[in-house]
Amino acid sequence: MQDIILELKENIIKALNLEDMSPADIDENAPLFGDGLGLDSIDALELIVLMEKNYGIKLRSPNEGKEIFESVVSMAEYIKANRTK
């Protein structure tokens, strides 16, 4: 699990161009949207692309991603259970 979390953080940094951040700066339990990392609706769409590209998981809408994208941990759990690559 820790491996996925670290890899996922690196992927998020790359996909969202958070160039001033390192994986250690991201609290895997903190919310990704709103108060935590402060991501927005466009980032949600980018995360959907990330899920498909890196893990072969297709989400149909940002709504479907709401719970999955709550935190890095929730994303990692979903990836672990559903990844196709």
Partner 1 sequence: MRIFVTGIGIISAIGNNATETTQSFIRAKSGICPIRYLSTSHKNLLVGEVKQTNEEMKRFLGISQSTPSIRTALMGMIAVEEAIRSAMLDKKTMSDSMSVLINGTTVGGMDKVEDFYTDFIENDTKNEYIHMQHCGTCSEMIADYHRCFKKVNTISTACSSAANAILSGAEMLRQAEADIVVAGGSECITRFHLNGFNSLMIIDESPCRPFDAMRQGLNLGEGAAFVILETEEHFNKRAVQSKPLAEFKGGANVCEAYHQTASSPNGNGAFKAMKVALKNANLQPSDIDYINAHGTGTQNNDLSEGIAIQRLWGNEIPYVSSTKSFTGHTTSAAGGVEAVISILALQNSIVPQNINFENPMPELNFLPVVEKTQNVKLTNVISNSFGFGGNDTSLIFSKV
Partner 2 sequence: MKANIYINAIKQISAQNALCEEWFEKPIYYSENFVKSLDEDYRQYFSPNEVRRLGKMLKRALLTARKALESNENKSLDAIITGTGLGCLENTELFLDRMVRQGEQMLNPTQFMNSTHNTISSLIAIDTGCKGYNSTHTHNGVSFEHALFDAVMLLNKDNNTTAMVCGHDEMTPTYFNFLQKAGYLGQQGETFASETAVAMLLSRQQTDYSFCKIEAIDILYGQPSDIVNIYQPPTEIDAIMTGINGFDKNDNIYTDVCGKLFADTPILQYKNIFGENYTASALGIYVAAECIKLGVVPLHLLYNKKRPKSIRKILSYNHFGGKNHAFVLLSK
Residue 45: which residues within 8 A CB-CB, separation 6 or more? 62
Q: State the DSSP H helix or E strand holding residue 15, giving kind and residue range, or none if neither.
A: helix 2-15
61's contact among partner 2, partner 1, none, with CB below 5 to 8 A by partner kind, is: partner 1
Handedness of CA 8, 11, 16, 19 (dihedral sign): positive
17's contact among partner 1, partner 2, none, with CB below 5 to 8 A by partner kind, is: partner 2
If one asks whether residue 38 binds partner 2 (CB under 8 A), the answer comes out as yes
14's contact among partner 1, partner 2, none, with CB below 5 to 8 A by partner kind, is: none
Window 33-52: residues binding partner 1 (CB under 8 A): 41-42, 45, 48-49
First-to-final CA distance of the chain: 16
List residues binding partner 1 (CB under 8 A).
41-42, 45, 48-49, 61-62
